[in-house]
Structure 1
Amino acid sequence: MKLNNPNAELYIPDGTDEKTALSRTTDLCIAAHQDDIEIMAFAPAAKCYGKPDRWFTGVVVTDGAGSPRTGIYENYTDEEMKRVRIGEQKRAAAVGGYSAQFLLGYPSGAVKDPGDSGRAVSSELAAIIDQCAPEILYVHNFADKHDTHVAVALRAAEAVRSLPAERRPSKIYALEVWRGLDWLCDEDKTCFDTSAHPNLAAALLGVYDSQIAGGKRYDSAALGRRLANATFYASHDTDSFESCSYGIDITDFINGTGSPQDFICEYIHRFEKEVRERIGRLSE
């Protein structure tokens, strides 16, 4: 398929033809930056790993120019960092056995623009979703504290809503990166077991040397959060899994007409209500 930006790429790790690689996709993740997929969507990637009937495809929307850098990367220009991060994402896709990996190459400012630039992003994402026709779609969550992550979530929501009902994924989940979802009330959480393939989990995060050596230990942080999620999930039960990540089922929201603000604030208000009720019950 034709991509909007001249620097955009579609990488297919096993070298199969484009039509096959996209049509076999069962699980699709749309993320803002190189490494976001491996942080937030390891569960579906691991679920598909080595399975002939399940295939994971990733979409990275931005070009990765603005990442922090130190050490050997300290004097790299934005253009040099773009090339490094594209190479890292391709290696992750190869290690993870992804069906395909889109690198759309948008500047963050274009993604965050709700006007024409943002509409171009949404339109391209809609075309990708339509071509892949995944069963399940994974995106960022609206309570993430990174502006670009929230913008990508908004553009993805717009993309799905622009498609006919029969072309939309059956399930859509919003996942955690910048700001975990541990704060959600338990009944509002979707838990994704990330216990399988621990060596693969470490390897996928470990390819991002530019981020790790560049001053951000996303590898340790992501793996640690998954372990913490599993341990602190239920205070009075033994752990049912060793590692997990959290998500929100946003399928009904996407298929409706409500606003993202109202949708996510319902969860915040339920959390506030739970805290108030617990304190009230235990106070004089």
Structure 2
Amino acid sequence: MRLSQPTADLFIPDNASAPPGSALAPDAALARVTHLCIAAHQDDIEIMAHSGISDCLDNPGKWFGGVVATDGGGSPRTGAYSHFTDEQMKLVRRDEQRRAAQLGRYAIQLQLAHPSFLVKSPATSVGVRDDLTAILSGCSPEVVYLHNPADKHDTHIAVLHRSLEALRALPPEKRPRRILGCEVWRDLDWLVDTDKIPLDSGRHPQLAAELLQAFDSQITGGKRYDHAALGRRLAHATFHTSHATDKFAGITWAMDLTPLVADPTLSLADFTLAHVDRLRSEIATRLAKFQ
């Protein structure tokens, strides 16, 4: 497999402890992936797709694969990392993502190392689309986890666009059965219940913490994603429904993006704003009910 950026990183956790001569080839490692997450940054995967990681740990024959589109430069940093250059941070974050892939026993972890500004422009993101198309063509995932279209991080939305472009370019028989948009930089608790997909993220709680804590440069650098992500999952599970006991120990909310790939003519903006319109209608109906 050839990726467009010379600094792209391909890591197969199985090979880290494999006896000499028994290393798994990248194509074979990718081909076994059944659950694939395409994310913008290092640590996004572990925030948004813990349910998929757990599914693969709990079911023999299922394999999780991770893709990070950007290079890790430009992240906020304080404390021990305050003096690090962007180039140093890129290496640190690459290694942290590798560590998470080992902990989660991923089939493969790909870090495409594209600068964020290139990903954001359709004119300069050809390499991103080509990389994603090659990755998606090399596996047949049952489910793909993406950023959701209501996320408030510009790079997340750009990577979502590039991911949808690559998925839409696949032949129909190669398209995943399920494509989910997951929460990172905006919760999806606001969706009406019929639009919400609860992802069971309460399994393997110790591993969940370890996966998030693998990104020390972010946590000790000033962002306690480990506490925040775990707390959000618990809050979602508790506040999911007022008249029933909790079904899950943790929930990550997702929306179904499969229609956007099944019908490539469907506008991402129209699709997303229809969810907002349904929320508005539900609020108006409830307010009017007791007037």
Give the structure-1-normalised TM-score. 0.97
Task: Pick from 11, 29, 34 the counterpart of residue 21 of structure 1.
Answer: 29
Q: Percent identity?
A: 52
Distance of 2:226 and 2:283 partners within structure 1: 32
Which amino acid in the other structure matches residue 246 of structure 1? W
Q: CA deviation at 1:52?
A: 3.1
User: What SS class does the counterpart of residue 49 from structure 1 fall into?
Assistant: helix
2:19 aligned partner:
none
Q: Who is 1:218 aligned against?
A: 225
SS in 1 for 2:137: helix
Amino acid of the structure 2 residue aligned with 1:238: T
Q: CA deviation at 1:50?
A: 5.8
Q: Distance between the aligned counterparts of 2:56 and 2:197, measured in 1? A: 18
1:185 lines up with 2:221 in the alignment: no
Q: Which amino acid aligns with 1:65?
A: G
AA at the equivalent of 2:175: R
Report if the CA contact (8 A) 2:151-2:185 is conserved: yes
* 2:33 aligned partner, one-letter code: T
Indicate the larger mover: 15-24 or 212-221: 15-24
CA–CA distance in 2 between the matches of 1:95 and 1:228?
25
Q: Which amino acid aligns with 2:133?
A: A
Structure 2 partner of 1:230: 237
Match of 2:2 in 1: 2
* Structure 2 Cα separation of the partners of residues 141 and 155 of structure 1: 13
The residue number in structure 2 matching 1:58 is 66
Quote the Cα distance in structure 2 between the aligned partners of 1:261 and 1:26. Answer: 29
1:1-284 to structure 2, matched below 5 A, reads 1-15=1-15, 16-49=24-57, 51-115=59-123, 117-256=124-263, 257-283=265-291
Q: 1:214 offset after TM fit, Å? A: 0.5
In 1, distance between residues paired with 2:159 and 2:59? 29
1:10-46 superposed Cα distances (whole Å, 9 cap, x missing partner) = 1000012212211110000000000000000000011
Aligned length: 282
Seen in structure 2, the aligned counterparts of structure 1 residues 97 and 50 have a Cα distance that, compared at 3 Å, is: farther
Kindly state the Cα deviation for residue 167 of structure 1 after the two structures are TM-superposed: 1.1
CA-atom RMSD in angstroms: 0.9
Between the aligned partners of 2:27 and 2:173, the Cα distance in structure 1 is: 20
Q: CA offset at residue 120 of structure 1?
A: 2.5
Question: Runs of at least 4 residues of structure 1 off by over 3 A?
Answer: none
Structure 1 segments unaligned to the other structure (5+ residues): none
Q: What is the TM-score when the length of structure 2 is the normalising length? A: 0.95
